[in-house]
Chain A
């Protein structure tokens, strides 16, 4: 038994061994089959994955090239960019990276479909997801690429980037979950200081990096570009330098430099020599030296980067308003008036043109010749911002609202004189570039909160993010247009524009198409009476028969960004050759004078400037000729005017003499007029004061056209018999008949200034002396006291 059992056990062991061997043989054979399968499959997988990944990268490259070429110069690369117009990449959207991104996503979707169909035999499934990669090390500032692609331009280190994660399955080959992070990039660093400037040439060094490695040790993963050595053979470089006029001042335009030599020094460094010699400037904030240049490079894939050697412009604005004012009282005694330390109502609303000129009330500001102000790079307007200091020091530079407007210098046809005319708010996606006739103006405000601050710093800078939107700032002004309103609301006054479109002023007169602006109480909507732009002759017993007749064009929102209201000012423009009669409908004439008026309603200020041009088409004779008049609707209890010193009053020529004013409301005589009107008229009550400040050109025009007949007048009653109490600048009063000659041109600005008896920025005065709170601000509206632009 024991023997038989031993033999059986041996048989069992032998059988297990035999079965084991057979199973092992089967396993080896299966393994061989599997490896054979892998060997036959892997070349296909490898090659297909590599081919699809490479093509995905090419698709990204093409789309980044499209976006950046369109952003840089759509028309120059129209062969490329226009082919994608049907996708949305139109000339209109050339500076819209959001649209470019949408085009890229649509293109990638079509590409995906193409790949799925092309590699259908392998069962290809393709998708991609958007990545975020950190560019801080690459750009030297905290930036990242996300949402498929991003561009950071116009600074010394600039770049264009795209990235996405590709996901791939080859279902027919049993290959799943392939992922590949694809990154496309081009980075340009321009070393700010040139390495050499000779009498004819400038030599700079740039560094160019393309694509690069992704470092997954950081979160999010970061990239560092690889040196790009094919700029000379595969890409191109352009250098732009700022144009200067014969006096050496920058004009605001750019010129393409003539590149004489480009040398590759390895590691992505290139030495570029070009004509001409460029002035080396000093950065006012850092003290670094730099040559003001724009450098643009493109690689062989068409990806473009634009860099600038500077990222901001800094100027100093120096106020020239006197802190102690002089006037002569009604006794002809010289008096001085010290401004309060708080002069917070001295806020200048400045314009800076793309020609680098600064304007205040349409007047070009004087510039210190020592100021070296290079132009803005070719940056879209939407990316421009402004900082202004609070106390004149760089540490208080804070961002302020900015507004972009389109202006043109054009011949005003009736008079054939050149005028600067606003033609609307700008399209923020256009370049802030100097034009021959059309120029964009940046509008910003600089305040002088206290008398101790004489200079303020202003830094104009630009965002490097091509996705930047125009800034929307909170504002207290708003345009309201409906059947009852054509108004601009302001916290201090509601300005109602009456004209052909909106003849009926609410609760007031029907102007029958005559264009004027009615100031209203912003709380009660009570009409305080109109400001009449100009008036001529009488109509029976009524004053001011012919007044400008037409329609105000009100500009209050940006093109394409219609939801962004003008943050700083809303302006209305009247351009007409007609005059009309408020007293008789249909009495409209085209043989009197043409009027061009620009009215600004300015946020955060107490003034409404009105720039006016009047040109006489035919000679006309009439009783009374008014330059400008502000009605009162009985609100004012006191009146004041200052003399010009151009005409003798009581045998004396004296400037800023109050003569017999201030005087209180009195019903008799019905019209009161005084000679030699000067820079300011005012009427007020204890709660509300309004002044008209006339510039010196206007004061002189009063005298040159009206001669000794020039008058300040106040009309006591309206035609309805209601109390009026206006303040009027008249070339000659209603009871004088004179002729104004054809070809007479009158240009002036008047500023309506709101003042109170006390409060921030004002002296505490009695009601009688309230006018002084207008007088302390009047100089800021006069030509001689306009601020001067100096080096910081």
Chain B
């Protein structure tokens, strides 16, 4: 009886060990990110949001995009639709400021949209204003890139854009 009980204890230990081993094996295989990738992701996000916040705090969006924002607002107010050609417009001034803030070696693309509120039906309409990038978006592919989203209510001068709402998509990463 006593020996049989000991065997059962050994069996139980072995069983627990096997379950744990299986769990660990599964955890090993289901681990979502490699450590290097985790670090890169966190850093890129921080960098990206730092960039967007820096541009916001210095009211760069109003300074460099005011004419386009004003024109888009006016067009939407008159036509009730987005102005044509916004998606392919390069925002080089914005790219210049962003390049000055970001460290060397990083690539970015900032897509800027104006958000218009259609008071009649309560919907929000997003119109592309253009994009800023420090690489040739048609040729170069980003690797380990991190997409970020940001909303921005213009509060700085000039008055003609104050109160406008922007939606900003930033993709930041490395050249593939």
Contacts and interface: CB of A to CB of B under 8 A. Distances in A.
Interface in A478-521: none
Contact of B59 (A44, A50, A77, A300): A300
Contacts of B104: none
Question: In the complex, which of the residues B32, B73, B119, B163 has the most CB atoms of chain A within 10 Å of its own CB atom?
Answer: B163
Interface stretch (B19-27, B95-103, B136-144): B19-27
Contact of B45 (A44, A107, A302): A44
Contact of A118 (B119, B153, B167): B167
A112 to B, nearest CB: 10
B45 A66 contact: no
B64 interface: no
A654 B45 CA distance: 101
Contacts of B9: 11-12, 15
Interface string B2-34: 100110011011001100100110010000110
A58 B155 contact: yes
B24 A110 contact: no
Interface string B83-118: 000000000000000000000000000000001010
B13 A302 contact: no
Interface string B145-161: 00011111111111110
Given A43-B46, A118-B151, A50 B13 contact: no
- What is the interface residue range for chain A against chain B? 35 or more
Contacts of A50: 49, 53
B101 to A, nearest CB: 16
Contacts of A47: 45-46, 48-49, 148
A663 interface: no
B56 interface: yes
Contacts of A54: 53, 56
Contacts of B129: none
B155 A52 contact: no
B20 A26 contact: yes
Contacts of A180: none
A26 B18 CA distance: 12
The binding surface of chain A is classed by DSSP as helix
B150 A18 contact: no
Contact of A51 (B32, B52, B156): B52
Contacts of A25: 20
A310 to B, nearest CB: 30
Contact of A26 (B12, B23, B77, B148): B23
B155 A301 contact: yes
A217 interface: no
Contacts of A63: 163
A513 B5 CA distance: 123
Interface stretch (A80-88, A353-361, A461-469, A684-692): A80-88
Contacts of A18: 13, 16-17
A493 to B, nearest CB: 52
Given A22-B20, A50-B49, A39 B42 contact: yes
Nearest to A33: B27
B150 A51 contact: yes
Given A43-B46, A302-B157, A115 B151 contact: yes
Interface residues of B, number: 50
B43 to A, nearest CB: 9
A88 B5 CA distance: 85
A758 interface: no
Interface in A8-26: 8, 11-12, 15, 18-19, 22, 25-26
Interface in A206-235: none
Contacts of A51: 49, 52-53, 150-151
Nearest to A116: B124
Interface in A45-60: 47, 50-52, 54-55, 58-59
A290 interface: no
Contacts of A5: 2
A58 B153 contact: yes
A22 B17 contact: yes
Residue among A50, A84, A110 with max Cβ neighbours from chain B (10 Å): A110
Interface in A157-191: none
Contacts of A302: 155-157, 159, 162
B169 to A, nearest CB: 9
A36 interface: yes
B99 to A, nearest CB: 21
A286 interface: no
B153 A59 contact: yes
B72 to A, nearest CB: 12
Interface string B29-71: 0001100001001100110110011001001000000000000
B133 interface: no
Given A19-B13, A26-B20, A58-B152, A80 B124 contact: no
Contact of A15 (B13, B46, B152): B13
Nearest to A51: B150
Interface of A: 4-5, 7-8, 11-12, 15, 18-19, 22, 25-26, 29, 33, 36, 39-40, 43-44, 47, 50-52, 54-55, 58-59, 61-63, 65-66, 69, 77, 79-80, 83-84, 86-87, 106-107, 110-111, 113-115, 117-119, 121, 300-302
11 contacts: A8-B6, A22-B16, A26-B23, A29-B27, A36-B38, A43-B45, A58-B56, A83-B160, A83-B163, A300-B59, A302-B159
The 10 closest A-B pairs by CB, nearest first: A80-B159, A47-B49, A79-B160, A110-B117, A58-B153, A79-B159, A62-B163, A15-B9, A301-B155, A59-B153
